[in-house]
Amino acid sequence: MAKYIHSMFRVMDEARSVDFYKRVFDMTVADRLDFADFTLIYLSNGESGTELELTVNKGRTEPYDLGDGYGHVAFSVDDVDALHARLERDGFAPRKLVDFAPDGGERIARFFFIADPDGYQIEVLQRGGRFL
């Protein structure tokens, strides 16, 4: 058996990224490991045991190329409409809310996307069904 414990993003600015994840998803620093060439910052919140690892490579001056392989990570929330409205009000520029009902059938999900300061795409889903 395997336990999923974290995902990692390479980021340019530790403070900017930590602030984003705190203000948007209430994630705080669970641990911070500083090394000569890089720093690892582990973010978590009480909703899940899974963490987000932010890696800051010291001396990096160019933004990372996310390429065409990265898709997104996802968070589920109790009230997607309220979070979307708050993020718009606070200037985070979330994309439009979507009711996902393929082929006009039953709604499978309600969600929006938002980009973090380094351009990583994050899907935010209404909690329910398979998206608990």
What is the model's pLDDT at position 63? Answer: 94
Could you tell me which residues come within 8 angstroms of residue 43 by beta carbon, excluding any fewer than 6 positions away? 18, 21, 27, 28, 29, 30, 51, 52, 53, 54
Sheet of 73-77, strand order: 73-77, 121-126, 109-115, 98-100
Task: Find the DSSP H helices in the chain.
Answer: 14-25, 80-89
Could you list the active site residues? 123
Write out the CATH class of domain 1-59.
Answer: alpha beta
Mean pLDDT taken over the chain: 95
Residues 98-117: pLDDT tens digits? Answer: 999 888 888 899 999 999 99
- Show the tokens assigned to 107: 């709604």
Residue intervals of the chain classified under CATH 3.30.720.110 are 70-132
Q: Domain 70-132: give its CATH code.
A: 3.30.720.110
| C-alpha pair distances (Å), 86 with each of 4, 15, 93, 118 | 30, 21, 10, 21
As a whole number of angstroms, the distance between CA 91 and CA 87 comes to 6
Residue intervals of the chain classified under CATH 3.10.180.10 are 1-59
